[in-house]
Amino acid sequence: MGRSLVAKIDDILRRERTLSFEFFPPRTPEAEAQLERTLQELEPLHPSYVSVTYGAGGSTRERTHELVVQINQGTSMTAMAHLTCAGHTRAELETIVGRYRDAGVENILALGGDPPPDVVLPPSELDHAIDLVRLVRDAGPFSIGVAVHPEPHPRSPSVESDRRYTAEKLAEADFGITQFFFEAHHYFELVEALRARGVDKPVIPGIMPVLSIAGIQRMAALQGSAFPPWLAERLYAVEDDPDTVRRVGIDEATRLCAELLEGGASGLHFYTLNRSPATREIAANLGLAPIG
């Protein structure tokens, strides 16, 4: 593996439709080995960039930093660091962003941060993701992304207020990446609503194929995504056969991706859960890369 030519994601988006993957910092030697295999298996797909998540309140602060720098310096891939403002002081965030700048990291995904229900974080000095976007912007010439919800954020009082806030923060950022969803119309309605508010920054749809019924339903509920009855019906019809459940999930994710690309989506961002087979299969189905 060679060293990446680190690039700003907003520059990449101006040139091409993107293909990107998301990872989380491993916590055990076994998980480290798994992630290393996944990086080696996905690098041949030549992703436009990859991203690394950040634990609630900075619980993975050092591991996120190390993994982002490792990917930039030890592979051909460009890495983006996630960063949340929840549980941090302004000074802490300025230090974290400064370290990224000094390490040559050019891309940051600025997030508010939603800790798990059983996690109590220290008080935060920045209230919202838009405040973190402004802090990162002041700290250096970063390319800054934000998270957006095709279906409203679960804490939003209404679709209208969610779209208004999303438009405000995306107007100050460079691009958005969506939470995962299962029906393309949610993405297209979001993009249309943003354009109606004068915001035409690139919005990249996030994709997570259904590989197990219980796991995906739990994650969907946490982030506020509806689990469509038609998809549940297909999956529960074969719930006793995990291989068939997985095949249905891959097929439906492929169909969703094809519809998004056909409709003009800015790219595809895969939530890999640190494993490569499903992402590689979908990419191959779409003609984006061989499974190899």
Catalytic positions: 22
The strand pair at 143-148 and 175-180 is best described as parallel
121, with CB counted inside 10 A (0-12, 13-18, 19+), is middle
Q: Which residues pair with 45 in a beta bridge?
A: none
Helix (H, G, I), strand (E, B) or coil at 83: strand
Q: How many CB atoms lie within 10 A of CB 183?
A: 18
Query: What number of other Cβ atoms are within 10 A of residue 249's Cβ?
Result: 22
Residue 72 · residue 101 · CB < 8 Å: no
- Strand extents, DSSP E, 198-266: 203-207
Three-class secondary structure of residue 46 per DSSP:
coil
DSSP code per residue over 170-193: HHHSSEEEEEE-S-HHHHHHHHHH
- Bridge partners of residue 206, in order along the sequence: 180, 269
